[in-house]
Structure 1
Amino acid sequence: MNHWLVKSEPFKYSWEKFNEDGRTFWDGVRNYQARNNLKEMKEGDLVLFYHSNEGKNVVGIAKVVKEFYQDPTTDDQNWVVVDLSPVETLKKPVTLEQIKAEPSLADISLIRQGRLSVMPLKATEFDKILEMGS
């Protein structure tokens, strides 16, 4: 199993809206590295859901329920989506400041590549963020 982090601005698509919907395709990715990360996602992989711009915190856990396919919001064959479903809300959100302050998380893409919207995490990084949010 692989672990991931996806970012969404809460005013565009919030964790609360995601939970109401129960499932969504992750669209709007227009960065080749993020697109390649979507292509690497496998059914059953776990995904941290991060509110960007407003909040700047990890708020929940989702899982991949359908592997990549053509993004239905565009005819451009370069772009893909995956389907995600919410799994669990963190007991307490884990802020970007907390993540930056944690030495074991110094190398994650959230810090190194702040604009990347879909990024892989090592299992240890994923587990550490979950621990911080419990």
Structure 2
Amino acid sequence: MAYWLFKTEPDDYSIDTLLLEKVSCWEGVRNYQARNMMRDNVKQGDLVFIYHSSCKHVGIAGIAKVVREAYPDHFAFDPESHYYDPKSDPDNPTWVMVDVEFVRKLDNLIPLSVLKSMPELADMPLVKRGNRLSIIPVSEQEWQAIMCIHYNG
């Protein structure tokens, strides 16, 4: 099992939305590096921090589990979709998505400022300057350190 952090803008899709839906596709990844991680490394059973970005309260909002591995992101073929990519070919799809299942919403969002202050997360791409990827690997040690904050408040 591996650990991940998936970024989302809560105005578009939040941990509360996932709570209501229970299971959802994680579509719209349009960065090749993030796509490659999702396609090649994100596996069924992996755990995911759901991270709210580009909002007033930025941070980890909840946890999900991958329940379906990468498959073609059909939104790339839909001209009505915000994620439409006219260059993506249904016979050789450029973009993929995975399905995630709600596990839990954190009692309190863990703010980015707290994550940045933790020495055990110093090497985590999320806390480094200039990291814009929407999918980030999380080491087991980083996962455990973050979970300690969640449980110890």
For the superposition of Structure 1 and Structure 2, which TM-score range results when normalised by the shorter chain? over 0.9
- Aligned residue for 1:129? 146
Q: TM-score, normalised by structure 1?
A: 0.96
Q: What is the count of residue pairs matched by the alignment? A: 134
Q: CA–CA distance in 1 between the matches of 2:133 and 2:143?
A: 17
Equivalent residue, structure 2, for 1:116: 133
> Which residue type is aligned with residue 145 of structure 2?
K
**Runs ≥4 in structure 1, deviation > 2 angstroms?**
none
* 1: CA distance, partners of 2:144 / 2:35: 24
CA distance in structure 2 between the aligned counterparts of 1:125 and 1:90, rounded to whole angstroms: 17
CA contact (8 A) 1:100 1:111 kept: yes
| TM-score, structure 2 as length reference | 0.84
Give the SS at the match of 2:65. strand
* Residues 90 and 130, structure 1, Cα contact 8 Å, conserved in 2: no
1:130 is displaced (CA, Å) by 1.3
CA-to-aligned-CA distance 1:103-130 (integer Å, 9 cap, x gap): 1101111122531100110011011111
Which residue is 1:7 aligned to? 7
Match of 2:99 among 60, 64, 83: 83
Question: Is it true that 1:42 corresponds to 2:43 in the alignment?
Answer: yes
Residue aligning to 2:68: 66
Following superposition, the deviation at residue 42 of structure 1 comes to: 0.6
Unmatched 5+ stretches in structure 2 = 78-87
Does the aligned pair in 2 maintain the 1:5–1:49 contact within 8 Å? yes
Which is greater in Rg?
Answer: 2
Please list every run of 5 or more consecutive structure 1 residues that lacks an aligned counterpart in the other structure. Answer: none
- Residue 121 of structure 2 is matched in structure 1 by 105
Root-mean-square deviation (CA, aligned residues, Å) is 1.0
In structure 2, distance between residues paired with 1:131 and 1:93? 13
Percent identical residues: 40
Distance 1:72 1:123 in 2: 32
